[in-house]
Structure 1
Amino acid sequence: MYVYVPKKLASLAPIIVAIHHCQGSAQGYSTETHYQPLADTHGFILIYPNSRSSGGCFDVSSTATLTHNGGGDSQTIANMVKYAATTYGGDLDHVFVTGTSSGAMMTNVMVGAYPDVFKAGSVYSGVPDGCFYVSGATATQDPPGWSNACANGQLTHTAKEWGDMVRSYYPGYNGTRPRMQIFHGTADQTLHYPNYQETLKEWSDVLGVSKTGDKANTPQSGYTQTIYGDGTTTTAQLVGYSAQGVGHTVPVHESMDLAFFGITS
């Protein structure tokens, strides 16, 4: 657990968990992304988990990590949030998570297994929550749980099948589900583009929303925005961004994340 606490915290300081990619590190992701200057401006706390695997990937495929309070990487990260709130004064009512590649997969896992902890997630170039698990990957591998079928975009399910998997992580949970923002590049050759639609299918079922419209060249040329449910880009339950011609991975859009999380307007 690596933490960045700005000198001046907001009175109710939000917490953002930012999760690195395979072959990455907490320290590396803290410099690759540009959340820290924004934390100085807006007074939020940053947590950078660091993978313990030799390949730098996170466990997104074990039963433990896909179970609320079941152990594994997911519970470790959830505990980091509680520690930061107690130690640094973060606000547990304003906790968010984001990540790239393996970190994007872990973001999906965190939102699925700990909907009581996180209010929203932003995913950069990942796969559907549980995709490596249902494809038969195991967490005893290193990198943990890699699945070619899932990575290559060959695994498809109905929206309800994906949604049922997410709901199974925390049986009996009837509270609010976190809002989700999904980015994916059409030229991704690592976690192939079909994973984008499967991820949107999954969260649309979990959140109970349907597609309401597309908008080309938003937020920039070549990106197509898709909104599910009512609202704008900063209030809708589910928003997707397809990045034409972009490979692995979509560049992090930090300011968009803060707006989606409600930290900025």
Structure 2
Amino acid sequence: MGPSHPPIRRTKGHRSKGHRTKGDRAKGRRRLAGLRRWVTAVAGTLALTGGLLALGPQASAAGLTEVTGFGSNPGNLSMYAYAPAGLQSGAPLVVALHGCTQSASDYYAHSGWPKFADRYGFALVLPQTSSANNANSCFNWFEPGDSSRGRGEALSIRQMVDRAVSQYGSDTRRIYVTGLSAGGGMTANLLAAYPDVFAGGAVDSGLPAYCANTVSAAYTCMYSPPDRTPAQWGDLVRSAAPAGTTSWPRVAVWQGSADTTVRPANATELRDQWTDVWGIGQTPSHTEELGGGTTRTVYDDASGRPAVEVYSVSGMAHGLAVDPGSGPEQCGTTGTYYLDTVCSSYHTARFWGLDGGGPDTGALPAPTGLTVTGTTDTTVALSWDAVPGAVSYTVRRGGTAVGTTTSTAYTDTGLSTGTAYGYTVAAVDQAGAAGAASAPVTATTTGFTPTCHTASNYDHTTAGRAHQSGGYAFANGSDEPMGLWNTFTVHTLEQTAPGHYVVADSGCPAGPSLTAR
């Protein structure tokens, strides 16, 4: 599933073929041997024939259509889509990312997602990469320039979502993303980079968000993922998301216990990452056994709704779990990396609530007009528009329920001075079921004292005041560019709010610098 081998380009400074030395030829033989070992490890059951990865014939993909002109497409991807006949406006949207050596039509034909698009009524978008981007047609989940918010392939996929919403009238509160292998790695990154776009995701035989930012690190993640703490994994998500994000996607993790391409330890790290983001710990709420040797482990949020689910498939190798057949819980067809165990698409669709009974589909709509009406050094006052049929409202701070009220106003108390808090509100019906959460708002209590810090870009980053992407540093919160990420470039940063920094080289209103390195 892994990344492509870095291309070997010949420059004017290289010797011509006729002047290669013995050392050059020995180096070339070692490089070729390394490439062959890499192909064997990554391609698995695919045959190496004449230097090309040989695939079997792809299944038909009737109903799948290519969509062009969906945006600037900086990631050089192709967009394919499917919508059931008679699709109603306001229906959900599912984005499905294929694995290495696969294509949109291949994933459409084997994964089972079209069956549930027809049954439950939602549109499908299937992005496709190519060998022009990656030698094995993998999504570049390990490249910051392709997997960060507003950049490369990630931005192309975001543009596809916008086009589909416009074309099908999709409900922007019910957009989901799933992917296999490299597509799973990209899925995790998209959930971190765009939590304001995706309500949920499913990572199938994939990697934790931002586990790697180089080719060599990608191999480490695949075969021996770093054993970071949940908080360290969670910080990778929080640093990739827009500043002030408090509402997070619900995440399903699928992993085979016999996977030797993406080791099962990745599922554990994914669980640690997303449970930490949700602030719910790593103790399961409950477990159950499904068919096909699959164990489902559930981690509920503070309101008792599943936020993270881990599906472990006993004995399954690297691939997507499918279960060919016409039964209501069956789906897909077998093929290379489509393995006959259990229908993962069915269980994922139910987890997202696409069947009308899951955690993300409430009887009541999300409240609108959530507004911060006032703050003090220890309180935040909120108000919102009434929802017909609601008997009460649940107020959440940072994903944790902090209060219930029958009115359309609430004051949160006992807060820290000069601190930013994020809030959402959900309406509750007579049966006690909470509907969809409102759009989030952020409030900052008064009394914060700005501080200034002068240091190198490297030290700013390691101290948590900045972050780096592609070798460049950016101030946390404001995302202001700071130049090269090194120990020689020095800037003064002013912290104007908790976690929010701006470049203040021309003078810092907060006074003398606290840090000088």
Q: TM-score, normalised by structure 2?
A: 0.47
Q: Quote how far apart the aligned CAs of 1:230 are.
A: 4.3
- Find 1:204's aligned residue among 272, 275, 279: 275
- Find 1:89's aligned residue among 161, 169, 183: 169
Against the structure 1 CA distance between its residues 98 and 147, is the aligned structure 2 distance closer, same or farther, given a 3 Å change threshold?
same
Paired position in structure 1 for 2:183: 103
**Residue identity in the other structure for 1:164:** D
- Find 2:139's aligned residue among 15, 34, 58: 58
Q: Structure 2 CA distance, aligned partners of 1:80 and 1:132?
A: 25
- Please state if 1:260 is matched with 2:330: no
Q: Structure 2 CA distance, aligned partners of 1:78 and 1:154?
A: 28
Q: Structure 1 CA distance, aligned partners of 2:279 and 2:234?
A: 10
Higher relative contact order at CA 8 Å, sep ≥6: structure 1 or structure 2? 1
Q: Quote how far apart the aligned CAs of 1:62 are.
A: 2.3
Give the conservation status (yes or no) of the 8 Å contact 1:116–1:175: no
* Structure 1 SS opposite 2:290: coil
- Please state if 1:129 is matched with 2:183: no
Q: Structure 2 CA distance, aligned partners of 1:125 and 1:232?
A: 29
Give the conservation status (yes or no) of the 8 Å contact 1:207–1:237: yes
Give the conservation status (yes or no) of the 8 Å contact 2:251–2:307: yes
Give the conservation status (yes or no) of the 8 Å contact 1:228–1:238: yes
- Find 2:308's aligned residue among 216, 228, 238: 238
Q: Structure 1 CA distance, aligned partners of 2:91 and 2:160?
A: 15
- Find 2:318's aligned residue among 248, 251, 256: 248
Q: Quote how far apart the aligned CAs of 1:260 are.
A: 1.1
**Residue identity in the other structure for 1:114:** Y
Q: Structure 2 CA distance, aligned partners of 1:193 and 1:4?
A: 32
- Find 2:245's aligned residue among 168, 174, 178: 174
Deviations 1:17-63 (A, max 9, x none): 01000001111100011111221222211000001333110111222
Q: Structure 2 CA distance, aligned partners of 1:230 and 1:254?
A: 23
Q: Structure 2 CA distance, aligned partners of 1:19 and 1:221?
A: 24
Q: Structure 1 CA distance, aligned partners of 2:318 and 2:193?
A: 26
**Residue identity in the other structure for 2:104:** A
Against the structure 1 CA distance between its residues 58 and 221, is the aligned structure 2 distance closer, same or farther, given a 3 Å change threshold?
closer
Q: Quote how far apart the aligned CAs of 1:12 are.
A: 1.4
Q: Quote how far apart the aligned CAs of 1:154 are.
A: 3.8
Q: Quote how far apart the aligned CAs of 1:250 are.
A: 4.1
State the identity as a percent: 33
Q: Structure 2 CA distance, aligned partners of 1:257 and 1:194?
A: 21
Against the structure 1 CA distance between its residues 206 and 247, is the aligned structure 2 distance closer, same or farther, given a 3 Å change threshold?
same
Paired position in structure 1 for 2:105: 27
Deviations 1:159-198 (A, max 9, x none): 1111111111124132310000111111101001111111
Paired position in structure 1 for 2:263: 192
Give the conservation status (yes or no) of the 8 Å contact 1:230–1:236: yes
Q: Structure 1 CA distance, aligned partners of 2:312 and 2:280?
A: 19
Q: Structure 2 CA distance, aligned partners of 1:2 and 1:243?
A: 30
Give the conservation status (yes or no) of the 8 Å contact 1:10–1:42: no
* Structure 2 SS opposite 1:156: coil
Paired position in structure 1 for 2:160: 80
Q: Quote how far apart the aligned CAs of 1:221 are.
A: 4.9
For structure 2, the 5+ residue unaligned runs are 1-78, 323-343, 358-517
Q: Structure 2 CA distance, aligned partners of 1:195 and 1:249?
A: 14
- Please state if 1:153 is matched with 2:234: no
Deviations 1:87-132 (A, max 9, x none): 2222211100111111111110110100000000011111111112
Write 1 or 2 for the structure with the bigger share of helix: 1
Q: TM-score, normalised by structure 1?
A: 0.89
Q: Structure 2 CA distance, aligned partners of 1:180 and 1:186?
A: 19
**Residue identity in the other structure for 1:258:** A
Against the structure 1 CA distance between its residues 146 and 155, is the aligned structure 2 distance closer, same or farther, given a 3 Å change threshold?
closer
How does 1:29-44 map onto structure 2 within 5 Å?
29-44=107-122
Q: Structure 2 CA distance, aligned partners of 1:231 and 1:187?
A: 33
Pairwise CA RMSD = 2.0
Give the conservation status (yes or no) of the 8 Å contact 2:191–2:201: yes
Q: Structure 2 CA distance, aligned partners of 1:87 and 1:148?
A: 39
* Structure 1 SS opposite 2:226: coil
Give the conservation status (yes or no) of the 8 Å contact 2:142–2:218: no
**Residue identity in the other structure for 1:68:** R
Give the conservation status (yes or no) of the 8 Å contact 1:66–1:169: no
**Deviates further, 200-209 or 241-250:** 241-250
Against the structure 1 CA distance between its residues 51 and 146, is the aligned structure 2 distance closer, same or farther, given a 3 Å change threshold?
farther
Against the structure 1 CA distance between its residues 231 and 174, is the aligned structure 2 distance closer, same or farther, given a 3 Å change threshold?
closer
* Structure 1 SS opposite 2:298: strand
Against the structure 1 CA distance between its residues 93 and 214, is the aligned structure 2 distance closer, same or farther, given a 3 Å change threshold?
closer
Q: Structure 1 CA distance, aligned partners of 2:140 and 2:204?
A: 17
Paired position in structure 2 for 1:142: none
* Structure 1 SS opposite 2:195: coil
* Structure 2 SS opposite 1:174: coil
Equivalences, count: 253
Give the conservation status (yes or no) of the 8 Å contact 1:82–1:92: no
Against the structure 1 CA distance between its residues 73 and 146, is the aligned structure 2 distance closer, same or farther, given a 3 Å change threshold?
farther
Deviations 1:228-252 (A, max 9, x none): 134899x310111111211112404
